Amino acid sequence: MKVLKDILYKVSLVSTVGDMEREVSELVFDSRKVTLHTAFVAVKGTQVDGHQFIQTAIEKGATTIVCEQLPDNILEHITYVQVLDSSVALGIMAANYFENPSERLKLVAVTGTNGKTSTVTLLFQLFVEMGYQVGLLSTVENKINEEVIPSTHTTPDAISIQSLLRKMVEKGCTHCFMEASSHAIVQGRTIGLTITGAVFTNISHDHLDYHGSFDEYIKAKKRLFDILPKSAFALVNADDKRGMVMLQNCKAAHQTFGLRYPADFKAKVLSNTIEGLELDVNNRQIWFRMIGEFNAYNLMAVFGTAVLLGEEEEEVLMQLSKVKGAQGRFDKISIAGVTAIVDYAHTPDALENVLKTIDGVRTGGEQVITLIGCGGNRDKTKRPIMAKIATQFSDKVILTSDNPRDEEPMAILREMEAGVNPVDFKKTMIIEDRREAIKTAGIMAKKGDIILVAGKGHETYQEIKGVKYPFDDREIVRELLNLLNKE
Ligand SMILES: CC(=O)N[C@H]1[C@@H](OP(=O)(O)OP(=O)(O)OC[C@H]2O[C@@H](n3ccc(=O)[nH]c3=O)[C@H](O)[C@@H]2O)O[C@H](CO)[C@@H](O)[C@@H]1O[C@H](C)C(=O)N[C@@H](C)C(=O)N[C@H](CCC(=O)O)C(=O)O
Ligand SMILES: Nc1ncnc2c1ncn2[C@@H]1O[C@H](COP(=O)(O)OP(=O)(O)OP(=O)(O)O)[C@@H](O)[C@H]1O
Ligand SMILES: N[C@H](CCC[C@H](N)C(=O)O)C(=O)O
Ligand SMILES: [Mg+2]
């Protein structure tokens, strides 16, 4: 039990009604999770306004209500706390409730359209290699050392973040590496965190459905940098023109990484093959297991972060060359003479990067067959662009379902098809069923060919009309390619 007024420390209050010394058993923002003596925080969401569940929360046992508008019927046995912004209050209250765990470890938050999971996973693996106890919050999984805690979001809600950080501190973690999605930043999920360093990987087309415009999307990312204290570091990609935008009016120490423009942490790509990357970093030639130029950026973000956290350059590079990166990112599966690559590319930029990487490591003669879909209930404007990119950089393309969610799969596929140039129609086909699409790609592939299975990476399900059916690209690729004989 915690005392309400302690949990409200540093929260901007508009008014209060009732006992502020009241004990709080738990903090929740979802009426469905209310139990006796919980404090219910009413948040205005994208679907509904949490204020409409205040009565239900009280009926279920909540004795404290935190809200922006006080309800008409004030009950005597309930404490009401009126705040300016419930999401902001929730972040600060969650931090207080779990006793500010982020002040007790070094927390690095990574934002950007692509490369967040790759970067935080590399950081996690690197710091484990260097002998630290480490936490990870990522799209693929959350981790406390070797313990895996399933992830539901790229960035969890404020209460889950603080609760996970608290567990990390209890388990002796000295560092935590987390992804900060633009949704999370805008919704205040990262409020209340003491951040040691923030990293910006890049920004390109995504989530325009949610943010409304590219400018708003940039502003969302920038908010992470705006709140950094002077003692923190802000490490941005010098080769992305929005890197400098992130640093405008940012109080933290400005740091840059990159491959082209002058940067504090810079590398030169010496070789880039299907086996890995050779980079020159401060006149040291190092080999890494990651593939593609985009991974050279991720590696430089990781190198810079580790050095800014006080690690020795030499040691960082040596240990970094051992790590293997995140699941479902450029996962190579070679069976029956065919190489399939399962990759989470789900934005135009990521798809183009992965296809250019494949093109760059081709030895000649082999054809590239790309299988791609776009998620339902998400940014529609990227659909035709992604299909166009797929056809531009591949010999054959199968447009197929990703997670259709509540949309008609065929409608998504038609929107994708609209981006294909008529001259590319003959190399493009539509196969709605993703399993059938993978099978067809396998049948079409000749020995030596490369199949890119893009969009779902590590995901182990396919979401169709509210149901998550088991579906793992990596398993299906293995199963179906094993049935083929290309020898
Ligand atoms: C669009 C979006 O981001 N929605 C997130 C948001 O929910 P919301 O605002 O839609 O909530 P709502 O349904 O309108 O409800 C409003 C409030 O009423 C409460 N409520 C609701 C119903 C009820 O019976 N009782 C009740 O108290 C809810 O708990 C909530 O507090 O806040 C919730 C709690 O934090 C999130 O779980 C939810 O994520 C949804 C499920 C989601 O799919 N989000 C995706 C888009 C997302 O966040 N993705 C990013 C990654 C994006 C990237 O790739 O960069 C991520 O960080 O995962
Ligand atoms: N630095 C990068 N620049 C561009 N593309 C990248 C970069 N790193 C990875 N990618 C591509 O983007 C895909 C997604 O990478 P990753 O999962 O690391 O991004 P993310 O930012 O975590 O995505 P999400 O927003 O879904 O959490 C990868 O599968 C790869 O195709
Ligand atoms: N974090 C991304 C995941 C997209 C993955 C793709 N497989 C899809 O379902 O659209 C998003 O929320 O847009
Ligand atoms: Mg991610």
pLDDT in tens, 53-72: 999 999 999 999 999 999 99
**Best residue for ligand 2 mutational test, from 111, 116, 118 (most atoms within 8 Å of Cβ):** 118
**CB 455 less than 6 A from any atom of ligand 3:** yes
Q: Show the tokens assigned to 252.
A: 């933290």
pLDDT digits (tens, 9 = 90+) for 258-272: 999 999 999 999 999
DSSP state of 446: P
Q: Kindly tell me if the per-residue pLDDT of 486 is higher than 70.
A: no
Mean pLDDT of the chain: 96
Does residue 182 fall inside a structural domain? yes
CATH number reported for the structural domain that contains residue 413 in this entry:
3.90.190.20
Q: Which of 227, 122, 137, 141 is nearest to 173 (CA)?
A: 137
Other Cβ atoms closer than 10 A to 333: 17
Which ranges constitute the DSSP H helices of 25-181? Answer: 54-59, 86-97, 116-129, 158-170
CATH number reported for the structural domain that contains residue 157 in this entry:
3.40.1190.10
Q: Do 280 and 396 sit in the same domain of this protein?
A: no
Q: Do 410 and 462 sit in the same domain of this protein?
A: yes
Other Cβ atoms closer than 10 A to 426: 8
Choose the final residue of a domain: 53, 77, 97. 97
Choose the final residue of a domain: 97, 124, 150. 97
pLDDT of 348 reads 96
Q: Whose CA is nearest to atom 48 of ligand 1?
A: 183
pLDDT of 19 reads 97
Ligand nearest to the CA of 301: 2
pLDDT digits (tens, 9 = 90+) for 235-261: 999 999 999 999 999 999 999 999 999
Atom of ligand 1 nearest to the CA of 189: 35
CA 24 to ligand 1 center in whole angstroms: 24
The confidence band for 339, taking pLDDT boundaries of 50, 70 and 90, is very high
**Best residue for ligand 2 mutational test, from 113, 114, 138 (most atoms within 8 Å of Cβ):** 114
CATH number reported for the structural domain that contains residue 13 in this entry:
3.40.1390.10
Q: Show the tokens assigned to 78.
A: 């309930």
Choose the final residue of a domain: 49, 79, 97. 97
Q: Which of 269, 264, 267 is nearest to 247 (CA)?
A: 264
DSSP state of 49: B
Does residue 326 fall inside a structural domain? no
The long-range contacts involving 77-81, CB below 8 angstroms and separated by at least 24 positions, are 78/18, 79/4, 79/16, 79/17, 79/18, 79/19, 79/20, 79/22, 80/16, 80/17, 80/18, 81/4, 81/8, 81/11, 81/13, 81/16
Q: Do 211 and 277 sit in the same domain of this protein?
A: yes
With 0-12 / 13-18 / 19 or more C-beta atoms within 10 angstroms meaning exposed / middle / buried, residue 80 is: middle
Domain that holds residue 282: 101-320
CA 113 to ligand 2 center in whole angstroms: 7
Which residue has better confidence, 201 or 483? Answer: 201
Query: Do 339 and 333 meet the contact criterion of CB atoms below 8 Å apart?
Result: yes
Torsion angles phi and psi, residue 283, rounded to 5: 65, 15
Does residue 259 fall inside a structural domain? yes
Q: Do 107 and 89 sit in the same domain of this protein?
A: no
The confidence band for 349, taking pLDDT boundaries of 50, 70 and 90, is very high
**CB 153 less than 6 A from any atom of ligand 1:** yes
Q: Do 239 and 148 sit in the same domain of this protein?
A: yes
Atom of ligand 1 nearest to the CA of 156: 57
Q: Do 188 and 299 sit in the same domain of this protein?
A: yes
Does residue 463 fall inside a structural domain? yes
Q: Whose CA is nearest to atom 18 of ligand 1?
A: 50
Q: Do 61 and 153 sit in the same domain of this protein?
A: no
**CB 266 less than 6 A from any atom of ligand 3:** no
Helix or strand holding residue 220 (H, E): helix 214-226
Distance, first Cα to last Cα, the chain = 66
What is d(CA 288, CA 205) in angstroms, rounded to the nearest whole number?
28
Does residue 444 fall inside a structural domain? yes
pLDDT digits (tens, 9 = 90+) for 166-209: 999 999 999 999 999 999 999 999 999 999 999 999 999 888 89
Residue 403 marked in a binding site: yes
The confidence band for 381, taking pLDDT boundaries of 50, 70 and 90, is very high
Residue 378 marked in a binding site: yes
Residue 243 marked in a binding site: no
What is d(CA 453, CA 340) in angstroms, rounded to the nearest whole number?
7
Q: Do 85 and 127 sit in the same domain of this protein?
A: no
What is d(CA 205, CA 96) in angstroms, rounded to the nearest whole number?
36
Per DSSP (E only), the strands in 174-228 are 175-179, 197-200
Query: Do 443 and 431 meet the contact criterion of CB atoms below 8 Å apart?
Result: no
- Beta strand 2-3 with 23-24 is antiparallel
Q: Do 112 and 178 sit in the same domain of this protein?
A: yes
Residue 121 marked in a binding site: no
Query: Do 411 and 417 meet the contact criterion of CB atoms below 8 Å apart?
Result: no
How many domains, in total, are found in the chain?
3
> Residue 219: CB partners within 8 Å, gap ≥ 6?
none
Q: Do 67 and 184 sit in the same domain of this protein?
A: no
pLDDT of 363 reads 81
DSSP state of 18: S
Q: Do 314 and 436 sit in the same domain of this protein?
A: no
Query: Do 471 and 434 meet the contact criterion of CB atoms below 8 Å apart?
Result: yes
Q: Do 247 and 339 sit in the same domain of this protein?
A: no
Does residue 325 fall inside a structural domain? no
Torsion angles phi and psi, residue 189, rounded to 5: -65, -20
**Best residue for ligand 3 mutational test, from 152, 346, 349, 371 (most atoms within 8 Å of Cβ):** 346
What is d(CA 281, CA 306) in angstroms, rounded to the nearest whole number?
14
Q: Kindly tell me if the per-residue pLDDT of 487 is higher than 80.
A: no
Q: Whose CA is nearest to atom 7 of ligand 3?
A: 456
What is d(CA 87, CA 107) in angstroms, rounded to the nearest whole number?
21
pLDDT digits (tens, 9 = 90+) for 467-479: 999 999 999 999 9
Q: Kindly tell me if the per-residue pLDDT of 313 is higher than 70.
A: yes
CA 45 to ligand 1 center in whole angstroms: 7
What is d(CA 117, CA 132) in angstroms, rounded to the nearest whole number?
20
